[in-house]
Amino acid sequence: MKTDRREFLKYGLITSSVFFGGIYGVKQFKKFNKHTIGYTGQWVNQSDRGHQLREAFKQTPTASIKIPTLIVGGGMTGLLTGYYLKHAGFDNFKILEMSSIAGGNSLYGQNEVSKFPWGAHYIPLPNAENRQLLEFFKDMGLAFSKSPNGVLEFNEEFLCQDPQERLFIKGEWQESILPMKGITKDDEDQLKRFHDLVNDYKFKKGSDGKFVFNIPLMESSQDPKFLKLDDVTFTGFLKEQGFASNVVSWYMNYCTLDDYGMGTDTVSAWGGLHYFCSRRPLGEYDDHKIMTWPEGNGWILQKLTEYLKDHFQTNHAVMKIQPLENGRVRSRVFNFDTKELAECESEQLIYSGPQFLAPYLFDDKKNLPNVSSDDYYSWVIANVTVKLKPEEFQNLHWDNVRFNSSSLGYVHARHQELRGRFDGTTVLTLYWPLYDKDLTATEIRKKISGLGWDDWAPQVEAELEAMHPGVASSIQSMDIKIYGHAMIGPRVGRIHSVFQQPWKAKKKQNIYFAHTDNSGMSLFEEAHYWGHKVAQEVIKNG
């Protein structure tokens, strides 16, 4: 059989997504022993699945199975869909996850020092009107009803402990990420003006009576007057508003990189403002409060996978999805363990994988969400185990950022640990979005495709050294993971497509899309929204 260009691209994409998608937990780690660097580390990426999948596409099914409700993909949204199905007593479903462990961007790791995140690592407190998410918080033990009238108290153990954030600027640390040290009067004025603008938008409502910016995103106003903000870049908007200060630009760019993995030159003004304006104070809690755990959102992941343990299987890829005339959905399921391919029939199918892959996994390509792989930028995450000097350890904040760095700084994994004394060892999780305003996401992926641990470790080390001179000698190990298609972000124009509700485009064929890609923003709150929403729809139909 000859492989044509299209087919080559298909395998290439899936292979690279599996490769870069970073499937943790596969016992295929490479150990590195460097003489130049006094520590070892793991390159936490899996490389042999693409080839197997490619074989699977050519195989003929040898079995046939029935999964009444099939959820494809065990990332956060897929698991939450399952959670709400089971919660409602709807038991006849299965979640199939292609990699060896479920969790997607909420994966975590663990060593003898601490648990640590391999991706999403915190959840901001929900807005007061996000009742569904607040209920979920209660179910997870993250919040309690303080009184019969429903006033909520969040579990102090999981609220980010003080001190929360600091910034390394002009050779020193300052509290808060907003630059304050050594900035000019003009910078200060512009920051103040931006702050006012944010406060204005935060409580502004559109002609439809909805907040201009809200979470879940679908609850935002669709007033065209504000949706126009999706037509320009955030940089363009800031320029037009007269924000020219380098300090302001750095801060904005830092924030959009932090949430979306893309800078202000790529993110739309709507997306950029959404970051700042979509969260409002909740009772006594200000809008800066977040919940976090040593293992990041892996904490939620563990609870969900425990709850759903009879409902999900890893090492199972679903492909060739095809709606049938009789309203059922046919697909093929490949088992990586047995190498068996089965034909599967379902009453309903929920596609919970990244949407740029949909065209390759669906045989019926009509009405698929219009998402491009250029909507996803790449990330590097390094988990560095260090033993710090007492005074350095004592001054750690949860989030530690360096001004004018291309990395996002690091998070201190043991920050939330409930103990009174530490011996100075901890894991620092360094986040590094690979963004370049002059390159598309695809071009960036091409650029980094051959790079490995040897290439990244010195960069990670240099970044830590810039903040903590001499720290390199206290590094005990460094594990690095790269996400090729880390997550979707609101590039210019994306929010317009979100409001066209592509998630139910194939509803008539009993196929739904449940993923944060539906929102164009990779946030836990969005995963929760879609998990809940799609589950309700499935129950109604089932």
Partner 1 sequence: MTYLLLFSVFVVATCGLVYELITGALASYLLGDSVTQFSTIIGTYLFAMGVGSYFSKFFTRNLLNVFIEIEMIIGLIGGFSAAFLFLSYEYVVSFRFILYSVIFIIGCFVGLEIPLLMRILKDRFEFKDLVSKIFTYDYIGALLASISFPLLLVPHLGLVRSSLLFGIFNVSVALVTIIVFKTEIKSEGFLRFKAIATLVLLVLAFGYSEKLVSFLEVQNYRERIVFKKTTAYQKIVLTQTSGEMKLFLNGNLQFSSRDEYRYHESLVHVGLSRLQSPKKVLILGGGDGLAVREVLKYPSVQKILLVDLDSQMTDLFKTNSILTELNKNSLNDPKVEVLNEDAFVWVKNNKDLFDFVIVDFPDPSQFALGKLYSKTFYGYLTSTIDADGLIAVQSTSPYVAKNSFQIIVNTLNDVALYTKPYHVYVPSFGEWGYVLAAKAPMETSETNLALPAGLQFISTEMVPYLFQFSKDLIGDSKEVNRLNNQILVRTFEQEWEPFSHHEN
> Which one of the spans 155-163, 236-244, 273-281, 344-352 is the region binding partner 1 (CB under 8 A)?
155-163
The DSSP secondary structure of 290-357, one letter per residue, reads: EEE-TTTTHHHHHHHHHHTTTTEESSEEEEEEEE-TTS-EEEEEEETTTTEEEEEEESEEEE-S-GGG
Position 145 contacts partner 1 (CB under 8 A):
no
Name which of 221, 218, 69, 134 is nearest 537 in CA terms. Answer: 69
Q: Which of 362, 398 has the CB closer to partner 1?
A: 398
Position 122 contacts partner 1 (CB under 8 A):
no
User: CB of residue 392 vs partner 1: minimum separation in angstroms?
Assistant: 12
Position 388 contacts partner 1 (CB under 8 A):
no
SS3 204: coil
Q: Which of 4, 162 has the CB closer to partner 1?
A: 162
Q: Using a CB cutoff of 8 Å and minimum separation of 24, what contacts does 464-469 make? A: 464/384, 464/386, 464/410, 464/428, 464/430, 466/168, 466/402, 466/405, 467/168, 467/400, 467/402, 467/409, 468/388, 468/392
> Which one of the spans 215-223, 261-269, 421-429, 485-493 is the region binding partner 1 (CB under 8 A)?
421-429
The packing angle between helices 269-277 and 185-202, to 10°, is 80
Name which of 281, 271, 267 is nearest 202 in CA terms. Answer: 281
Binding partner 1 (rule: CB under 8 A), the pick from 135, 157, 189, 240 is 157
> Which one of the spans 70-78, 157-165, 267-275, 499-507 is the region binding partner 1 (CB under 8 A)?
157-165
Position 286 contacts partner 1 (CB under 8 A):
no
User: Residues 287 to 346: which contact partner 1 by CB under 8 A?
Assistant: 289
Q: Which of 159, 482 has the CB closer to partner 1?
A: 159
CA distances from 539 to 203, 505, 536 (A): 35, 18, 5
Binding partner 1 (rule: CB under 8 A), the pick from 2, 27, 421, 540 is 421
Supply the DSSP symbol for 382: E
User: CB of residue 175 vs partner 1: minimum separation in angstroms?
Assistant: 10
Binding partner 1 (rule: CB under 8 A), the pick from 52, 100, 110, 161 is 161
Position 358 contacts partner 1 (CB under 8 A):
no
Q: Which of 6, 419 has the CB closer to partner 1?
A: 419
Q: Which of 164, 221 has the CB closer to partner 1?
A: 164
# binding residues, partner 1 (CB under 8 A): 18
Query: Which neighbouring-strand residues pair with 168?
Result: 173, 402
CA distances from 395 to 85, 164, 206, 250 (A): 45, 11, 44, 24
Question: How many whole angstroms separate alpha carbon 228 and alpha carbon 209?
Answer: 17
Position 469 contacts partner 1 (CB under 8 A):
no
Q: Which of 366, 421 has the CB closer to partner 1?
A: 421
Binding partner 1 (rule: CB under 8 A), the pick from 25, 163, 236, 542 is 163
Position 394 contacts partner 1 (CB under 8 A):
yes
Residue 120: both structure tokens together: 């999403």
Question: How many whole angstroms separate alpha carbon 387 and alpha carbon 418?
Answer: 19
Question: How many whole angstroms separate alpha carbon 95 and alpha carbon 422?
Answer: 40
User: CB of residue 418 vs partner 1: minimum separation in angstroms?
Assistant: 5
Position 112 contacts partner 1 (CB under 8 A):
no
Q: Which of 19, 137 has the CB closer to partner 1?
A: 137
User: CB of residue 526 vs partner 1: minimum separation in angstroms?
Assistant: 25
Position 159 contacts partner 1 (CB under 8 A):
yes
Position 422 contacts partner 1 (CB under 8 A):
yes
Give the torsion sign (CA, 306, 308, 310, 311): negative
Q: Are 269 and 234 in contact (CB under 8 A)?
A: yes
Position 267 contacts partner 1 (CB under 8 A):
no
Position 281 contacts partner 1 (CB under 8 A):
no
Q: Which of 141, 390 has the CB closer to partner 1?
A: 390
User: CB of residue 237 vs partner 1: minimum separation in angstroms?
Assistant: 33
User: CB of residue 394 vs partner 1: minimum separation in angstroms?
Assistant: 5
User: CB of residue 523 vs partner 1: minimum separation in angstroms?
Assistant: 21
Q: Which of 7, 175 has the CB closer to partner 1?
A: 175
Binding partner 1 (rule: CB under 8 A), the pick from 162, 306, 310, 438 is 162
User: Residues 401 to 420: which contact partner 1 by CB under 8 A?
Assistant: 418-420
User: CB of residue 198 vs partner 1: minimum separation in angstroms?
Assistant: 23
Q: Which of 160, 467 has the CB closer to partner 1?
A: 160
Binding partner 1 (rule: CB under 8 A), the pick from 4, 112, 156, 306 is 156
Q: Which of 164, 383 has the CB closer to partner 1?
A: 164
Residue 284: both structure tokens together: 């006594």
Q: What would the 3-class secondary structure string for 425-469 be? A: EEEEEEEEEECCCCCCHHHHHHHHCCCCHHHHHHHHHHHHHHHCC
Name which of 21, 3, 8, 89 is nearest 353 in CA terms. Answer: 21
User: CB of residue 164 vs partner 1: minimum separation in angstroms?
Assistant: 8
SS3 179: coil
Maximal C-alpha separation, the chain: 72
One-letter amino acid at 323 equals: P
User: Residues 212 to 231: which contact partner 1 by CB under 8 A?
Assistant: none
Binding partner 1 (rule: CB under 8 A), the pick from 72, 152, 160, 255 is 160
What's the helix, strand, coil split of the chain in %, to 5? 35, 25, 40
Query: Where along the sequence are the contacts to partner 1 (CB under 8 A)?
Result: 156-157, 159-164, 289, 390, 394, 418-424
